[in-house]
C-alpha cells in the first residue's frame, strides 16, 4: 500500500486537489438535490461531508463514484473527469457503503481475493494484498471464517479492507461507525487514521460530529443541497464565535430558572460535569448580571473557565441559520 507523499517544501505551491467539485448540480424531476456545490480535497486529507438527512450527501457520493450522472458542473478525481473517464476513476477510488456488499458464504480471505480478481490483479498480488489487509485490520485469525459469521464490527472492518484491495488513492466512507458499540467504533476510527497515515485521502460522511472533529482536517456542511460552510473544524467553529461560552462553578446549589430570570443576557444555562455551562453574546452584561445574582443569593463564583464552541454546536448553529431558506434536497 502507498506510504503517502512527502510534505511540500517551504515556499512550494500546495499539491493539486485529489477531489475537485465545481458548480455541481443535480435534480430529480422538480426536486433540486444539489445546487452549485463547490469544494476541493487535498491529497492525504480526511474530509468530513456533513449534513442532515436529505441534504444531498448520498447524491454527491454517487456522482463522485460514477454511479450517477450530474446535471451540471465539473467533478474530477486526481485530474480525471468522472463522467469522461469512469473506468479509470473507479480504479482510483474505493467505496465503502453503509451496508456491506460482500458475500456472506465466502471466507474473509476469499472475499478479498475475489475482489482483487475483479480488479484484474494477478493471483500472487491479490493473495499478497488480502494477507496484508487481513493483518492491517487485525482479521488474520478470521481469514478462513465466513463473512456472514462475523460480528457487526468485524464486518465493517472487512468491508473497508475490501475497498482497499486495489490500492485506491481515495476512500469513500459512508457512516462507517453507525451501529457499532463504543470499543468497535473507537477501533475503527483508529484504523481510519492508520489508512490516512499511509497516504489515502478519505471522504467521510457521518452524523457523529465528535467523530468528524476528531478525524478530519476539512469539513463541508451541506444543507438543502448547498454548501453552507467549508473549512477546517477550527474555522467552522470560529464562524459562530459571536457566541461566548463559560464553565462556572457556584459555591452552593442554584436554581437554573432563577439564574435565567436574573440574568437575561445568558442565552442558555445547562448542567455540565464541572458545574454549569453558560452561553451568551455580550460578555460584560452576562458577567455583571451573574455577579449581581450571586450577591443577592449569597453565592460565590468558585471557578470560571472559558469553553470553546464544539463542531457539533457550530453545525447546529449553521443549520439553524439555513432552516428558513427555501428549497429541499435528498
Q: Among the ranges 71-80, 241-250, 255-264, which has the highest mean pLDDT value?
A: 71-80
Q: What is the mean pLDDT of the segment spanning 268-280?
A: 80
Q: What is the pLDDT of residue 257?
A: 87
Instruction: Check if the beta carbon of residue 68 is closer than 8 Å to that of residue 59.
Output: yes
Q: What is the pLDDT of residue 80?
A: 95
Helices then strands (H, E): number in the chain? Answer: 11, 14
Res. 307 pLDDT band, cuts 50 70 90: low
Q: What is the pLDDT of residue 140?
A: 95
Q: What is the pLDDT of residue 327?
A: 47
Q: What is the mean pLDDT of the segment spanning 128-146?
A: 95
Res. 254 pLDDT band, cuts 50 70 90: confident
* Of residues 272 and 287, more confidently modeled: 287
Does pLDDT of 67 surpass 80?
A: yes
Q: What one-character-per-residue DSSP string does 191-237 give?
A: HHHHHHHTT-EEEEE-S-HHHHHHH-SEEEEEETTEEEEEE-HHHHH
| Beta bridge partners of residue 25, listed in sequence order | 72
Mean pLDDT of the chain: 88
Does pLDDT of 269 surpass 60?
A: yes
First to last CA, the chain: 36
Q: What is the pLDDT of residue 62?
A: 93
* Of residues 280 and 157, more confidently modeled: 157
Rounded to whole angstroms, the Cα distance separating 24 from 35 reads 7
Lowest mean pLDDT among 102-111, 214-223, 240-249: 240-249
Distances, alpha carbon 40 to alpha carbons 23, 24, 129, 182, in Å? 12, 12, 30, 32
Q: What is the mean pLDDT of the segment spanning 97-110?
A: 92
**Helix residue spans in 35-164 (DSSP H):** 57-64, 86-92, 108-118, 123-136, 152-163
DSSP state of 106: S
Rounded to whole angstroms, the Cα distance separating 39 from 22 reads 7
Give CA torsion, residues 330, 58, 79, 229, to 10 deg: 60
Domains along the chain with CATH numbers: 17-234 (3.40.50.300), 242-308 (3.30.70.920)
Does pLDDT of 141 surpass 90?
A: yes
Q: What is the pLDDT of residue 242?
A: 56
Res. 14 pLDDT band, cuts 50 70 90: low
Q: What is the mean pLDDT of the segment spanning 316-322?
A: 83
Does pLDDT of 121 surpass 50?
A: yes
Does pLDDT of 162 surpass 80?
A: yes
Q: What is the pLDDT of residue 324?
A: 60
Q: What is the pLDDT of residues 35-60, one digit of tens each?
A: 999 999 999 999 999 999 999 999 99
Rounded to whole angstroms, the Cα distance separating 206 from 187 reads 16
Does pLDDT of 4 surpass 60?
A: no
Rounded to whole angstroms, the Cα distance separating 109 from 140 reads 9
Q: What is the mean pLDDT of the segment spanning 106-126?
A: 96
Q: What is the mean pLDDT of the segment spanning 219-239?
A: 90
Amino acid at each position: 500500500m502507498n506510504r503517502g507523499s512527502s510534505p511540500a517544501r517551504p515556499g512550494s505551491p500546495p499539491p493539486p486537489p485529489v477531489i475537485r467539485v465545481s458548480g455541481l448540480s443535480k435534480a430529480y424531476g422538480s426536486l433540486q438535490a444539489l445546487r452549485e456545490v463547490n469544494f476541493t480535497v487535498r491529497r492525504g486529507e480526511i474530509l468530513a461531508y456533513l449534513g442532515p438527512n436529505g441534504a444531498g450527501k448520498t447524491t454527491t457520493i454517487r456522482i463522485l463514484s460514477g454511479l450517477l450522472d450530474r446535471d451540471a458542473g465539473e467533478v474530477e478525481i486526481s485530474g480525471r473527469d468522472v463522467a469522461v473517464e469512469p473506468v479509470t476513476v473507479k480504479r482510483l477510488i474505493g467505496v465503502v457503503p453503509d451496508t456491506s456488499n460482500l458475500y456472506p458464504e465466502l471466507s474473509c480471505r476469499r472475499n478479498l481475493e475475489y475482489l482483487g480478481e475483479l480488479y484484474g490483479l494477478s493471483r500472487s498480488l491479490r493473495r499478497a494484498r488480502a494477507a496484508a489487509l487481513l493483518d492491517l485490520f487485525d482479521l488474520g485469525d478470521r481469514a478462513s471464517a465466513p463473512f456472514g459469521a462475523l460480528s457487526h464490527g468485524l464486518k465493517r472492518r472487512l468491508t473497508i479492507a475490501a475497498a482497499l484491495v486495489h490500492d485506491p488513492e481515495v476512500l469513500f466512507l459512508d457512516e462507517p461507525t453507525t451501529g457499532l458499540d463504543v470499543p468497535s467504533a473507537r477501533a475503527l476510527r483508529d484504523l481510519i487514521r492508520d489508512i490516512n497515515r499511509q497516504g489515502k485521502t478519505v471522504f467521510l460522511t457521518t452524523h457523529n460530529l465528535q467523530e468528524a472533529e476528531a478525524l478530519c482536517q476539512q469539513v463541508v456542511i451541506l444543507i438543502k443541497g448547498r454548501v453552507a460552510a467549508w473549512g477546517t473544524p477550527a474555522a467552522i467553529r470560529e464562524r459562530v464565535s459571536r457566541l461566548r461560552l463559560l464553565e462556572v462553578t457556584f459555591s452552593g446549589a442554584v436554581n437554573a430558572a432563577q439564574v435565567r430570570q436574573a440574568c437575561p443576557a445568558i442565552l442558555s444555562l445547562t448542567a455540565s460535569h464541572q458545574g454549569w455551562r453558560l452561553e451568551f453574546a455580550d460578555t460584560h452584561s452576562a458577567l455583571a448580571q451573574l455577579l449581581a445574582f450571586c450577591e443577592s443569593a449569597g453565592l460565590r463564583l468558585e471557578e470560571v473557565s472559558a469553553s470553546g464552541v464544539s463542531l457539533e454546536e457550530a453545525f447546529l448553529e449553521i443549520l439553524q441559520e439555513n432552516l428558513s431558506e427555501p428549497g429541499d434536497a435528498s
